Amino acid sequence: MSAMICWVILKRYELGMKTPVSNTFKSKPMSKYQWLAEQLREKIQSGEFAPGSTIPSQQQLIDQYGVSLSTVRNAVSCLSVEGYVAAKHGMGVVVLEPKTEARRVTGQVLGFVVVTSEGEPRVSDFAALNGAAEYARSLGWSVTYATIAPTSQGIADLERYVAGLDGVMLKSESHPLVLDCLRRQNTPLVLLDHPDVMGIQTGEFSTVDFDRQSIGYLAGQTLAMHGHRNLALVYFVEEWAIAPVIEGLREACEDYQIPSARHIESHNNEQNILMTKELARDDQTTGIIVLGWGHSNTMIGRLIDQGVNVPQDKSVLAVGYPHAGELYQDFNETGIVCSAERQGREAARILIESPSRKVDKVLLGRFKQGATVANQTC
């Protein structure tokens, strides 16, 4: 990502309007997912994809356009936020009927800002945006969104962007320069994800976060109750604030009188491969907790490639945001789901209903039964 700000097709979503109202900022060149979303959007608007029909499958889009799976997921999430498509259980992604009557514009606008140093937003960012836009539209409000890099130029443009908003939701990195900018603007702000990281004080802002300590406890409890005595917690440096999860897992191990779990940190794909090989050879560690549903899915595949029978030899439990939010993807993994869409809805609710009051909303994870955890019999 360049040092300059990267705006993600800044758009205003009006209930019932299929064509977003553009703002005054000049767009940067499209990223891959924006380009793919534009291709699909044109097919929908031209009638090639008729209302009620399904768009091509993920694999078909990958083969047709030569893009990655994450690009497809982000593009479809983008179209879902805009109201072009929706997931239908058992059907796939269905094209929606166009709205013929638009509600009157109220002039009340919320902003959704993703701060990232890594390029494209994550799928969970789009899922949270989708939830926020859905809730705001139901009350006649509008939502715009942008991604920025935490640079001096990015902060300058962020100041101009925030100036016209009635409230802001901030996702991902809580960078001190970004928070200082938002403090100066005195615009109501809700932080999504961990509110305090790397010593950054954010106590004056409203927050919507998950009870990470309880989630860590539930993960350890689940594996302990299935007879697993030796556990490993696998996490990746760019993911969640890990300390509360570790504390909850420690309490579970203590309560169920099993050894403390190993903590395995990974920084890149090469380390992921080596880590998986090590776990495959480790006959003692039979219960594995992985932060990130996408990471968990990858690890399961690699363990199977190493000759490990999942879940008979090793059970794998995923924690966090499902890899495609709750928009259209369903994995058969056991785990604890953190709904990014619900997180976005709650953030929008706070800004609309209680903009002048500090609110800290704590969400619980939802246990999902799958086929990757089994009783340890050895």
d(CA 152, CA 173): 16
82 and 221 part of one domain: no
Q: Does any domain span residue 34?
A: yes
Within 10 angstroms of residue 159's Cβ, the number of other Cβ atoms is: 13
Mean pLDDT per block of 10 residues along the chain (378 residues) reads: 35 33 38 84 88 90 88 81 75 76 53 77 82 87 84 87 89 76 88 65 83 95 97 79 90 97 88 91 96 87 94 94 50 86 94 90 91 85
Check residue 199 and give its pLDDT.
Answer: 55
pTM, 2 dp: 0.72
For strands 189-192 and 21-22, give the pairing.
unpaired
Backbone angles phi, psi at 133, to 5 degrees: -65, -40
179 and 256 part of one domain: no
- CATH of residue 29's domain is 1.10.10.10
d(CA 283, CA 368): 26
Q: Does any domain span residue 54?
A: yes
State the residue range of the domain holding 274.
Answer: 212-338
d(CA 42, CA 79): 11
59 and 152 part of one domain: yes
241 and 154 part of one domain: no
CA angle 38–44–47, rounded 5-degree value: 140
Burial class (CB in 10 A: 0-12, 13-18, 19+), 371: exposed
234 and 173 part of one domain: no
Residue type, 16: G
Q: Are 282 and 247 in contact (CB under 8 A)?
A: no
Q: Does any domain span residue 253?
A: yes
220 and 179 part of one domain: no
113 and 250 part of one domain: no
Q: Are 132 and 165 in contact (CB under 8 A)?
A: no
**Residues near 293 by beta carbon (within 8 Å), at least 6 away in sequence:** 318, 320, 321, 322, 323, 331, 333, 335
Q: Does any domain span residue 200?
A: no
259 and 158 part of one domain: no
d(CA 53, CA 96): 8
Burial class (CB in 10 A: 0-12, 13-18, 19+), 142: buried
Check residue 23 and give its pLDDT.
Answer: 36
Q: What 3 state SS string does the chain have?
A: CCCCCCCCCCEECCCCCCCCEECCCCCCCCCHHHHHHHHHHHHHHHCCCCCCCECCCHHHHHHHHCCCHHHHHHHHHHHHHHCCEEEECCCEEEECCCCCCCCCCCCCEEEEEEECCCCCCCHHHHHHHHHHHHHHHHCCCEEEEEEECCCHHHHHHHHHHHCCCCEEEEEECCCHHHHHHHHHHCCCEEEECCCCCCCCCCCCCEEEEECHHHHHHHHHHHHHHCCCCCEEEEEECCCCCCHHHHHHHHHHHHHCCCCCCEEEEECCHHHHHHHHHHHHHCCCCCEEEEECHHHHHHHHHHHHHCCCCCCCCCEEEEEECCEEEECCCCCCCEEEECCHHHHHHHHHHHHHHCCCCCCEEEECCEEECCCCCCCCCC
Q: Does any domain span residue 355?
A: no
Check residue 269 and give its pLDDT.
Answer: 81
Put residue 227 in one of left, alpha, beta given phi > 0 → left and psi -120 to 50 → alpha.
left
218 and 266 part of one domain: yes
Residue 160 CA from chain centroid, whole number: 26
218 and 182 part of one domain: no
The label of the residue with tokens 């360049």 reads: 2
- CATH of residue 221's domain is 3.40.50.2300
175 and 218 part of one domain: no
58, 66, 120: which is closest to 92 by C-alpha? 58
181 and 224 part of one domain: no
Check residue 237 and give its pLDDT.
Answer: 62
Q: Are 96 and 50 in contact (CB under 8 A)?
A: no
Check residue 27 and give its pLDDT.
Answer: 35
Q: State how many domains the chain has.
A: 2
CA distances from 308 to 66, 277, 278, 284, 287 (A): 32, 10, 12, 13, 13
- For residue 23 the two structure tokens come to 């703002």
Q: Does any domain span residue 91?
A: yes
Q: Does any domain span residue 128?
A: yes
Q: Are 169 and 351 in contact (CB under 8 A)?
A: yes
Q: Does any domain span residue 306?
A: yes
